Chain A
Amino acid sequence: MAIKLIKLIKENKGGFIGALLLFFLMIMTCYALLFVSTQSRLQWNDPIFWSDNPKTAAPEWFNIILKPFGYQLPEHKIFLQKDAIVNTLNDIDFKLENNTFSYQFDYNEFPSSFDIPYTITLGEIPPILEIYVKRPDNLEFKIYSNSLESVNSLQNSEDSSANSVNDNITAPTLINSNTVSGRVFSSSQEVRNSLSEYSNIFKFPISGLSSEKIIYSQTDSNTPLKGEYEFIFSVYSFDSDTILQNLKLVIQGKVFGLLGTDEFRRDVFFGILIGTPVALFIGITVALSSSFIGLFYGLYSGYTGKKAGTFMLTIIDIFISLPTFIIFIIISIHFGRNLLFLIGLFILFGWPGVALLNRTFSIQIKNYPYIEASKLMGESDFKIVLRHIVPQLLPFTLANFALSVPIAILGESALSFLGFGDPSFPTWGQMLQEAHASSAETLGYWWWIVSPGLMISITSIAFILIGRSLENLVKIGKRR
């Protein structure tokens, strides 16, 4: 028994590899369906969910590859509030609370940027926020100061909540009646203005440089200063109701995650994981439906000859001679972007090819003597087709089904690449479309391009290999 199995595997090596790849994809699908809740799937398009990730960061294992070259990219670090050292100074009128984060910087290259999101519950009197950076050479820069007075006049938080993740506006926004949340970006104008007051310390002109190039730089030349940096977030509060709730220091690195991040700070690995069930669903549904519709249509049109059969053949011919891709595009522009509509379109243009092949086979089989014998015995047409012809065509249909899946997957990703995909489901083609729209290939974000395309290729190759070996098995079966 085991010897037979090994022999079967050896003969169809391709099919075995294809089955392994498919198994790996099914594991990913099950993991995605079971462990990723619907809510986190919907957050793919929500920029606030991803705001702690770096933009366009390479995968973490890229640093391992770069080790022989002696060049390391800085890692992404998130410091939570509990990591900070707090010391409070209580006085009669006010309370000063200092949260200190210490960050060890040892890289050869400037870090990209940092940002500090905070949430404060307000009391009667608005507090004052200040942020200081203490460098290894004991210089202390004050980079941000805000008194939060103007926040009380903000009535609605909806249009300003969109601003809070914009890179250049750090305006604090009112979440509910007494909670304010904001985000200080190192690239904002206020930080730059505060830093320009220290320009006499540096021996080179700092007017055009970005904030992190000034903060982390040595004083005599514009090279990074290694050592321990302290970020001090101070809150001067004037009544006892002011509480600092949620404070983080996010040092934007250039590597993050298993497969990197994209332009919108989303994790590429997460995107691929939730794209797997969608791709498999589309491929299998389209291939299954078009194979079965083609099977029965072709059978029937081959079996009933003369006028009805030739008329059905003409319909098939019309569908075959149209260039489907261009018609897809024109129809999709007019009717909008919906997943089920896309599937319907693929099925509509997919069944004629299968139907033609099935019709040819059915014509051949129709002329065999045993069919004539059954007819003479009085079997109805329907039963003849079902009992004699269909079992012969079934292995061939299976092989066709396995070969139509990659056509459906590739077609769907091509249409999503053009922008006609369903925006609520992130598919691999959509990720590639966003990559192309952000010029990822000219800017060199290879992790964003390779990952979804590789998954498309693996899925297609798996089904092609399985289909090929099924074809081989069918041919061997026929020769017997």
Chain B
Amino acid sequence: MILETVQLTKSFGGLTAVDAVDMQVEEQEIRAVIGPNGSGKSTMLNCISGIYKPTSGAIRFVGESIGGMAPYALTRRGIGRTFQNIRMFNSLTVLQNVMVGRHCRTEDTLLEDIFALPRYRREEEEMREKALVYLDFLGIVDKRDMMPASLSYGQRRMVEIARALATEPSLLLLDEPAAGLSQGEKSALADEVRKIREAGITIILVEHDMRFVMGISDQITVLDFGKKISEGTPSECRNDPKVIECYLGGKVGSHA
């Protein structure tokens, strides 16, 4: 088991966005977390990546309790992520954006950098080469010297995934990766995600697009109003009456 949440709870004032959720994710699994708007999916991802401190409960990553750790510390432990609303470094080129992802894996110091000493040159070269490989992997290496602002939405999404891969994650969190992509881009993305998993990386994704989710996930966790209402393989979830009720609406007034 690579990631485990135990009774994970996050509340904002009176609102409990994530309510005592238990979730276990196995290594090399593709796990989708789904649910209607406001069901707490993104909050959960933000807890796992350290952006939010859980109100109570535990998060364990490869056996270590990580609840409340800073995002950069978790990234160094091997949790990478992308954002729902793409967050590029807009004054850096595409290649430089991806290189920033690898900074946390380098050890050269400021003085070595200023005087361009051997270790700096070696690390910089490696950073550059590896960043190019990830860009190539995601099919956007020809855009390497462009500024993010001049890319299409789908291309920027790929840059963001390349940047997350450059941090060398063992667990990759994707927050609505298919949002805003065309059908063609979506199926290309699904292929990339599968390839990333085949390389040994575990993936947790939050997504609205059901076709995308059903086609790609091994396991699905369904949240509604912050509570886990169902969990299982895509076909199990599809046929779970509780899931159908929460998506299609149950008895009148049941959630009002």
Decide whether A and B are members of one complex.
Answer: no
**Interface residues of B, Cβ cutoff 8 Å to A:** none
Residue positions of A touching B, CB distance < 8 A: none
